Every structure is written in C-alpha cells, then in structure tokens.
Amino acid sequence: MSQEVSHVEYNTTTRIPNRKLAFWLFIASDCMFFGSLIAAYLYYEGRSLVGPYPQEILDLPLTTISTFVLLMSSLTMALSVLYSQRKEMRNTRLALLATIVMGLTFLGFQAYEFTSFVHEGLTLSTNLFGSTFFVMTGIHGVHVAVGVLWLISLLIHTTRPVDPNRRAVDIEVAGLYWHFVDVVWIVIFTVVYLMGLSH
C-alpha cells in the first residue's frame, strides 16, 4: 500500500517523476532567457565605438581548455546518474566529486579571464561588447556555481540513509541541469569565441 502511495506522490500520469517533469519546464524557460541574452550579444556585435574589441582581448586557447573541462564534467555527471541508478554509492560519490572539481576549475578559469579583461580595460560599462559579454557569461557562471553547490549538497546527501530510488531521481534531475548548463556554454563559446574571433 505504501508503495502505491509513493508511486502516486512522485509520478505523473506520464510515469515521469513530478520533479523531473517540472525541471524540464524550468529548463525550457531558462532556454528562452539565455536565448535572449545571446540574441542581444549578436545584435550589438561589432557596434562598440571604443575598444577593447573581442579580437584584441579574447584568449581562445585558455577558454578552449576551460570548455574542455566543463564538457568532461558532463561525462562524470552522466556516470554519477548511472551509478546512482545502479545503487553503487561509492562510485556515485566519486563521480559527483569529480564533477564538482571540474565545475570549480571552470569557475576558476572564468574568474581569471574576467580579472584579466578588467586589467586590460574591459569592464561592464566600457562598451557594448563588455556589457553584453559580462552579463551573458557572468549569468552562465552563476548557473555553474549554483550547480556546484547543488552537487555538493547531493554528495553530502549520499552519506545519509535515503530511499535509493528517490536519491537516483534527485541526482538525475541535477544531471539535467548540469547538462543544460554545458550545452548553453557550447553555444556561448561558439558565438563569442569561435564566430567572434573569425570576423
């Protein structure tokens, strides 16, 4: 009887857990939000009246490394989801920890990049490039930071006696968020660094 109540509580008529379905809706709304930021960047691209300009300041090799780190974190996040579904808690913790470390590494690269840009004269108010760049990449960085804090809480949570099926759903939902953040960065990296430097 308790199993039936649990099923009704956590699953919709589509047999998808409520939290997972709600999170898909959140991701859809966040896609529109980031879409507007990227559209604003593209609209104002090349319209700055003063420098520094993208070609003068963007460090493609450095950002390529940080992008690779973030993409590899998607792999470890996927592994943590797989291990949690298999109820392999030790491997789940290791995969979560690896994802956290790579997320923090990406944020470290971003902090270094922002600091370097400020030293070279590019700030939020310098020109249109600075305004759109810092807002777009900064908000993405906040998303990564939120994801790291979320994963840390899940890592702590794995040490507690919780229903393994519920825990697996929790980690899967966090995985959806993490993969979404990675996909958004791929778009930003392509638009800002690859396309921007090719002009």
The more confident residue out of 26 and 18 is 26
Is residue 3 predicted with pLDDT exceeding 50?
Answer: no
pTM above 0.75, yes or no: yes
pLDDT digits (tens, 9 = 90+) for 84-117: 999 999 999 999 999 999 999 999 999 999 999 9
The more confident residue out of 21 and 197 is 21
The rounded distance, in Å, linking the Cα atoms of 38 and 165 is: 38
Domain boundaries, the chain: 19-198
pLDDT band at 81 (very low <50, low <70, confident <90, very high): very high
pLDDT digits (tens, 9 = 90+) for 150-195: 999 999 988 887 777 888 889 999 999 999 999 999 999 999 999 8
pLDDT band at 13 (very low <50, low <70, confident <90, very high): low
The CATH classification number of 19-198 equals 1.20.120.80
